[in-house]
Amino acid sequence: MVDFRKTQVHLYKSSQAAASQTRAFFFHRSWVAAALAATGAIALLSVILLHHWQALHLLVLSIATGVAAVNAAVRLLLSERMPRWTLNVDVAAGNLFASIAVAAAAREHIILANLYLLVAFFAFLYLRIAEALMHLALAGLEYAVILHFVTHPLESPVIAWLSVFGTAIVLGAVAIGLVSVLRMSATEDPLTGLANRRLWDERLEEELERAKRSGDSLSVIIIDIDHFKSVNDTKGHEAGDRLLSEIAASLSRAIRGSGDFLARIGGDEFAVLAPGSAEISARSIVNRLAGTLPEGISASFGFASWDSVESATELVHRADQDMYQSKRRRSGHSSRPA
């Protein structure tokens, strides 16, 4: 007999794994650049093979195909080692070679203008919006010149231009929305809506660098909810999730709005980054946070103020140790975490 519950769980885990792999792919911009360049090369190669071209046009299309293929290989091999500015070079070169291919194909009454859409999608996905719009405007100008000076199979060049770049604008909007969703899924805890561990680590490094330059104080506060496991064990995980959401909302109301940063960094563990706060200010924040917890809920707090020398890892470790000492004092047992 088929166990539908197990099947449902298996399908859910498979979909989660697929979603995770998709997110991982899109976070590697060089992989996406390589995939789009390879797609362009395959599209051009297909056009070359399916039509009898004049020698000059064949040469132009072959060069464009070769450049796209080489770019895909370079991006794949060098991966993230290439600096960010090279993405602008890729987009500009992609539009230029797309224009060359479009011009050559137009003389043979073949439309390749959809190549612009591949480049536009990538630009809006990985470049700043202003940069992507600049590249799109230049590509639009190149295509307008082609439509004006090169014989085109369509009777209305205006409609041809609008159909391509209207679609490019829509794709750009989709790409911007996709970027927002991916960033949110990568940096936001889905249960509480707080920043997750990844964003916490990034923000901590940024604030530490800022403190090094300015000489300002910086404190880290670690919060561990007491006896949270017993809530899950006795009342179920849904009750535990509701409690975590309630605690997150309470802590959010208690932190200062002038730069303090709250994140959920573990199952029942939260952290606050307090720029400009030395030890006395950090103690005051801890007292305020402790006083805002939901009724009947307690937590162990630990904090550390930056000593102007230690790394982010060392600073968090000191705050962790202070929290564990607080927990031992309050619970009365002497076990020490590994």
**Residue 268 falls in the annotated catalytic set:** yes
- Highest mean predicted confidence (pLDDT) among 36-40, 107-111, 114-118, 322-326: 322-326
Taking residues 208-227, report their average pLDDT. 92
Phi, psi of 186 (to 5 degrees): -85, -25
Six-digit token pair at 4? 């539908």
Query: What are the residue boundaries of the structural domains of the chain, listed by start?
Result: 4-187, 197-331
Q: How far are the Cα atoms of 40, 115, 217, 224, 261 from residue 256, in angstroms, in the given order?
A: 51, 50, 16, 20, 9
The answer to whether residue 2 scores a pLDDT higher than 50 is no
Is the separation of the CB atoms in 117 and 167 below 8 Å? yes
Start-to-end Cα distance in the chain: 45
| Alpha-carbon dihedral angle through residues 72, 76, 78, 84, given to the nearest 10 degrees | 70
Whole-structure pTM value = 0.54
* Per-residue model confidence (pLDDT) at position 231: 86
Q: Which of 11-15, 103-107, 194-198, 234-238 has the lowest mean pLDDT?
A: 11-15
Write down the catalytic residue from 90, 189, 268, 320: 268
Cα–Cα distance for residue pair 220/74, rounded to 1 Å: 42
Kindly state the percentage of the chain with pLDDT values over 70.
Answer: 86
Q: Is the domain 197-331 a CATH 3.30.70.270 member?
A: yes
Q: Which of 56-60, 184-188, 243-247 has the lowest mean pLDDT?
A: 184-188
